[in-house]
Amino acid sequence: MIKVIEDRFLLETENTSYLFRCLPSGHLEHLHYGKKIIISDDFRPLSKKIAYLPGNTIAYGKNCPTIGLENMALEMSSLGKGDIREPFIELQTSSGITTTDFLYDSHTITCSKQDYVGLPSSYGSDEEVTTLVITLKDRYSECTLELYYHVYYQTDVITRSAKLINTGTDALFLDRLMSTQLDFDHSAYKMTTFTGAWVREMQLNHQMIQAGTLVNSSRSGVSSNRANPFFMISAKNATETGGSCYGLNLVYSGNHYSAAQVDAFCKLRVVSGMNPMGMRHTLEAGDCFQSPECVMTFSDQGFGGMSRNMHQFIKDHIVRGVWQHKTRPVLINSWEAHYFDFNEAKLMRLAKKAKQIGIELFVLDDGWFGNRNDDTTSLGDWNVNNKKLPGGIEGLSKKITELGMDFGIWVEPEMVNKDSDLYRAHPEWAVEIPGFEHATGRNQYLLDLTCLDVQDYLIQSMSKVFSSGAITYVKWDMNRIFSDCHSQNLPAHRQSEFSHRYVLGLYRVLDALTKAFPDILFEGCASGGNRFDLGMLCYMPQIWASDNTDAVSRLSIQEGYSYGYPQSVIGAHVSDCPNHQTLRHVPLETRYHVASFGLLGYELNLSDLGSSVLNRLKQQITSYKKWRKIFQFGDFYRIENPTLPGGYNWMVVDEDQKKAVGAVFQKEAMANQMDLIFYARGLDPQTTYHFYNIPTKHNVKLFGDLINTASPVHIKNGSVVQHLVSKVYQLDGEHEDHYVSGSLAEFAGIKLKQGFGGVGFDASVRLFEDYASRLYYFDRAIGGNTNGTFKTDL
């Protein structure tokens, strides 16, 4: 809802209020964004009171002698006129002037959401979203700034963007245009960012905000695994379940910049948008520039409440198309099974094993085209390698579909190897500086997506690939960052526009291909999570979270993503042990449990596995399919569990609170450990649930020589006898089975079976080795009788 009372603006969602007003000077004073408040038409209690300007500050003008912009909370700010904080906009006129002063001119309100030209953005029906556009005009130059506010009432989200329009006859030079600016009355907050590297994405960082500036940014050309564009501003004492928390994210896939700055008066300014470093854009007469959309949400229910707001918004208003709310198939990916070393016979053996255990989609990864036997050659040559695949993609996909599986394929369209027919034919399409030694990444060059001919080539070549067989899934990869940027397509004064123009070119390609192939499930990837952002999710319903498939590493990676992204967009696979990235050994059950809290896939050579392991995988997949909708689309909860030190506790709950799945993940085993209690979240307090687990089996090898305390014959550790015994005999794990109310599960917790303590073991003891985990299920119980037994709502 948007309400305007004279010079005052009120934006409301179901649980939040956003207020600002127009000052007598024409500037916009920010008044409040946060928990919903009841307010009359009189906003004066929220307005700043000034009788005299503080010393050593700048008076705005002789007609407003008590207005000093440095000490005001504003909706936007610019260089000059006394505000020396992080600006919203920076530009230079053709005469070299950098001072601007954007003042209120007009506004419009519509019950709709228009697309941004060339940029992806959120969407909603006329009933779901209302738009306010504030038009500001600069006093000194001939340009107009439009501030866009889109209010999504039901999901507690407000999005912002801005558009600069050159209404004059001379060129303007734009050096910064943020997407949002939030000014807070005090700085008692912390900033939470998610940083990392390749195979180490989304590591959570809490930083108390103090005097100075905290920055979260990317200059790698993409949204980056170094610093994801999602971040949080929260009360210093905020927890998972309580305290004020703001979440902000950009619908953009390129260089970004977010800053939290404390000024001389202890106010906090937060800005977020495109990275201004080296981004100068020239706007000729009549040109305009739109900043990417910034998504903002607030919750007084802590990090968890904020996350669920953001999750619902992404599911309803970012992801789109056939796959928006459709459950995703369980897949097998060929990469860690065979890397580049495969032929059709190997792939078919893998596919047949996959079909036997219930896998639904076979994905052919890198190595199927050109002379691609390693990563030094053939990117750009999207012709099938007939030595590996004599029947081509059409022949292989036909054989896969005849098995009863869908077929998918890997591509990396934005790249080219120097050793490729494409480079030899069009060296000018590669991003390199003439006369300079080029700096490569993974032996490859970027293609110049600022060039329309390159964009058209990608659309045509990928259309040919996607039409070459029964392809229902595409993994779109991008395995290097930007460096030594230069386009032979751009004049010298526009070289600073390269990075943004590249992103716009990519969006044009993706828009064309996803519209041409609406039924294909696209999965984004950039060396894992190097381009995991809302911009890509507007075209691709899911993204590969990390090239690291180690389940222990994935705990922090996937929990990091969960703060800003729903599990329905997070690709996660079960791989072999020792893991290929860490050489760590992790129990098979844990590998499955971690991956099940994303979009489940498998990435290992099934042909090398014995029947017992394949049967366990089959059981996993059967169970996952039963609970798949909840795993992928349920409300996600991170649980702070004091009885699980150093571990992770997650839970997903369906929307009607009838079913839920919880998980506990342990890092290292603890001797004589404390009692483990499972605390649920998100259940109906008044409902009774059947709480249970599926008992696991323990290999006798796990006990080593200790097995001799129970064995009638001596079994030497590591012996052939031990191996044979392990083949035919396994020890039963514990079984949890209770009927509990939702309130008991959440506020008291369910005490689980005693943990193994080295003094005895049987089926009543919970054995948690290093990296062990369990899944616990909740089914709503219906009926009941005097002895306390119930039926479950299956």
Residues annotated as part of the active site? 477, 547
- CA dist., res. 488 & res. 436, Å (int): 13
Helix (H) or strand (E) holding 614: helix 611-633
Hey, CA dihedral for 512, 515, 517, 518, is it positive or negative?
Answer: positive
- Per the rule left: phi > 0, alpha: psi between -120 and 50, beta: everything else, 199 is left
Total residues found in the chain within this entry: 794
**CB 133, CB 147: distance < 8 Å:** yes
**CB 148, CB 163: distance < 8 Å:** yes
**In whole angstroms, how far apart are CA 346 and each of 343, 369, 514?**
5, 16, 31
- CA dist., res. 354 & res. 400, Å (int): 11
**CB 145, CB 102: distance < 8 Å:** yes
Measured from the Cβ of residue 203, the count of other Cβ atoms closer than 10 Å reads: 16
Q: Residue holding tokens 């906090």? A: 268
Angle subtended by helix axes 452-466 and 498-516, to nearest 10 = 30
Backbone φ, ψ for residue 628 (5° rounding): -55, -45
Question: Which two tokens mark 45?
Answer: 């209690």
User: Which of 184, 697, 281, 771 minimizes the C-alpha distance to 499?
Assistant: 281
In terms of DSSP bridges, do strands 245-250 and 231-235 run parallel, antiparallel, or are they unpaired? antiparallel
- CA dist., res. 294 & res. 274, Å (int): 10
Per DSSP, the three-state class of 126 is coil
Hey, CA dihedral for 492, 494, 497, 499, is it positive or negative?
Answer: negative
Q: What are the residues whose beta carbons fall under 8 Å from the beta carbon of 574, sequence distance 6 or more?
A: 549, 551, 588, 591, 592, 595, 600, 601, 602, 603, 604, 617, 620
User: Which of 422, 413, 636 minimizes the C-alpha distance to 508?
Assistant: 413
Measured from the Cβ of residue 751, the count of other Cβ atoms closer than 10 Å reads: 13
Angle at 772 between CA 769 and CA 774, to 5 degrees: 130
8-state DSSP, 213:
E
**Burial group, residue 334, by CB count within 10 angstroms (0-12, 13-18, 19+):** buried
Distance of CA 272 to the CA centre of its chain: 17
**CB 769, CB 755: distance < 8 Å:** no
Q: What is the dihedral of CA 312, 315, 318, 320, to 10 degrees?
A: -150
8-state DSSP, 369:
B
- CA dist., res. 281 & res. 118, Å (int): 16
In terms of DSSP bridges, do strands 521-524 and 471-476 run parallel, antiparallel, or are they unpaired? parallel
Backbone φ, ψ for residue 475 (5° rounding): -100, 115
Residue type, 666: Q
Question: Which two tokens mark 611?
Answer: 């029947």
Q: Residue holding tokens 């990928």? A: 462
User: Which of 742, 739, 766 minimizes the C-alpha distance to 675?
Assistant: 766
Helix (H) or strand (E) holding 345: helix 344-356
Residue type, 595: A
User: Which of 713, 688, 687, 682 minimizes the C-alpha distance to 700?
Assistant: 713
